[in-house]
């Protein structure tokens, strides 16, 4: 059986002349030009779920309805990615429950109290002495802001 080496540059012309190739070459033989070379570099596209969600069962989304954290780049209508598995520490932006309301603020922990800091001069810091009224819900890891 005659066998002609398939050079991708020769493409379809060769294919029409001779239809005898080995089984392993069938894919390349179907050549439409230089497709085969880029196959080596083929990879999956970027997946935002993978990049922005580090722990899926612990990650939730919230919608921002206040400009209290404008200085941190959090605007009204933005979406927050909140990871409950990240330990809340001083300096983290958190979603918190205080007196029956969800708040987004920067957390500052003292020995026996907590302070929630806004990043907008219109708002004041909230000092919390009675921790039974307070609960850190989760730590904000990303903010999604549409332009």
Q: In 3D, which of 141, 143, 9, 120 has the Cα closest to residue 70?
A: 120
d(CA 38, CA 25): 17
Distances from the Cα of 63 to the Cαs of 67, 69, 71, 82, 142, in angstroms? 12, 13, 17, 11, 12
In the bound state with another protein, the residue whose beta carbon lies nearer, of 8 and 84, is: 84
CB of 62 to another protein, least distance (A): 5
Query: Under a CB-based contact definition with an 8 Å cutoff, are residues 75 and 119 in contact?
Result: no
Which residue's CB is nearer to another protein, number 3 or number 60? 60
Minimum distance from residue 91 beta carbon to another protein (Å): 19
Would you say 26 or 89 has its CB closer to another protein? 89
Burial, 74: exposed, middle or buried (Cβ in 10 Å; 0-12, 13-18, 19+)?
buried
CB of 104 to another protein, least distance (A): 5
Which chain residues interact with another protein by CB under 8 A?
Answer: 55-58, 60-66, 68, 79-80, 84-85, 95, 97, 100-104, 135, 137
3 vs 102, beta carbon nearer another protein:
102
């Amino acid at each position: 059986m005659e066998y002609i080496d398939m050079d991708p540059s020769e493409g379809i012309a060769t294919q029409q002349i001779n239809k005898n190739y080995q089984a392993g070459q069938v894919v390349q033989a179907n050549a439409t030009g230089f497709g085969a070379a880029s196959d080596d570099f083929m990879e999956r596209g970027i997946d935002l779920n993978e990049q922005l969600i580090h722990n899926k069962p612990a990650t939730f989304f919230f919608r921002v309805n206040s400009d209290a954290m404008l200085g941190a780049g959090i605007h009204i209508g933005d979406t927050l990615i909140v990871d409950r598995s990240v330990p809340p520490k001083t300096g983290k932006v958190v979603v918190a429950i205080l007196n029956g309301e969800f708040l987004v603020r920067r957390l500052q922990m003292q020995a026996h109290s907590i302070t929630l800091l806004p990043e907008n001069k219109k708002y004041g810091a909230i000092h919390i002495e009675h921790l039974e009224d307070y609960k850190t819900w989760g730590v904000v890891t990303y903010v999604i802001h549409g332009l």
